Every structure is written in C-alpha cells, then in structure tokens.
Structure 1
Amino acid sequence: MQVNLLEAKNRLSSLVAAVERGEEVLLARNGVPVAKIVPYERARVKPPGAWKGLVARSADWNSAETQAQVENLFLGDGDAPAA
C-alpha cells in the first residue's frame, strides 16, 4: 500500500495496524515513495557465554610477561617503538 504524506498524517493509527497485519506501507511525497513503515524488531542479545569456544586466544594471555607488556603500553617505559 502506498500513501501520500498528507493522508498518512491523518491515518497513522490505521497504517500502523496494517503493518502489524503484515502489510507493507510506503510513504510517498507527490506520488514518489520516500519511506517505508516496517514492524519493530527487538535487538537480539546473546546470552552470557554464547561466544564460548568461538574466539581464539593465546594460551599465555595472562602470563607475567604479557601483563608487563600491557602495563608498559599504558604507563610507558621509554623503550616503546617509534610510530
């Protein structure tokens, strides 16, 4: 269904009801489609632990050497390579 903007302002409730029934509603300006009213979809949030086993990480990610490197990145040690 295509509706011009002036008509859409007067019929917004019925247009939303049409979308809820599964109809496609196009909004037009001077007969030229410019927008579409679509059903709202909630964001899909993955539950905690959904990424378990999907992301590779180094076996030494929590070693003393790695922690020292990270600390040097934040605090600086004067030996950082020039960019």
Structure 2
Amino acid sequence: MSEQLHVTLQEAKAQLFQLGARAWQGDRVVITKAGKPYLDLLPHIDTPQTRKPGRLKGRIRMPADFDRTPEDIIEGFEGRF
C-alpha cells in the first residue's frame, strides 16, 4: 500500500535520492514550502499513450431509438410524478 509523505524543501534537497526511490515504489511524495504543498515528486513515464481517434469505429452500436426518452423518465426529472 502506498504512503503519503510530506517533506520540506530543505529535507528534499538533503534526501532527493531516497525520496525518488520512495516515489518509484508508489509512495506519494509532497514537498512543502512554508507548511503548504508546493511540489509533487512523481516517477517519469517515458512515452505517454497517444490518442488514436476512431480506434473503436465499428465496435459501438447505437440503437435506433437512443435519442427518444420515455415520458415517465422525463416526468421524473421534471418533478411531475
């Protein structure tokens, strides 16, 4: 289970290697300045996933009546019971 760790800027300067290792292990490392959160130390991810538009084309089907809402549902939303 990951842990959340708060350290000051001074502590972070002195313990950067150890804090980096903790971040890689899944701990959330928050660096504080004047008692308030200032920076989050996160592991680097080499290549973010690129979005590919249309990758689900042909896999999603919409029923012919998808835009028709039954009257009882409309009445429920509008408060007409």
**Greater relative CO (CA pairs within 8 A, separation 6+):** 2
Task: Work out the CA distance in 1 between the residues paired with 2:30 and 2:48.
Answer: 26
Q: Per the alignment, do residues 45 and 36 of structure 1 end up closer, same or farther by CA in structure 2, a change over 3 Å counting?
A: closer
RMSD: 2.2
Alpha-carbon distance in 2 for matches of 1:31, 1:45: 35
For residue 74 of structure 1, what is the aligned residue in structure 2? none
Q: Which residue of 2 aligns with 1:35?
A: 39
Task: Tell me which protein shows more helix as a share of its residues.
Answer: 1
- Higher Cα Rg, which structure: 1
Q: CA deviation at 1:39?
A: 1.2
- Please tell me whether residue 7 in structure 1 is matched to residue 11 in structure 2: yes
Question: Any stretches of 5+ residues in structure 2 without a counterpart?
Answer: 55-81
TM-score (structure 2 length as normaliser): 0.53
Q: Which residue of the partner structure matches residue 26 of structure 2?
A: 22
Percent identical: 27
Structure 1 gaps of 5+ residues are 55-83
What secondary structure sits across from 1:2 in the alignment? strand
User: Partners in 2 of 1:35 and 1:44 — Cα distance?
Assistant: 21
Alignment length, in residue pairs?
A: 50
Q: State how far apart, in whole Å, the 2-side matches of 1:3 and 1:37 are.
A: 11
Q: Which of the two has greater strand per residue?
A: 2
Runs of 4+ aligned structure 1 residues displaced above 3 Å come to: none
Give the TM-score normalised by the residue count of structure 1.
0.52
* TM superposition shift of 1:44: 3.8
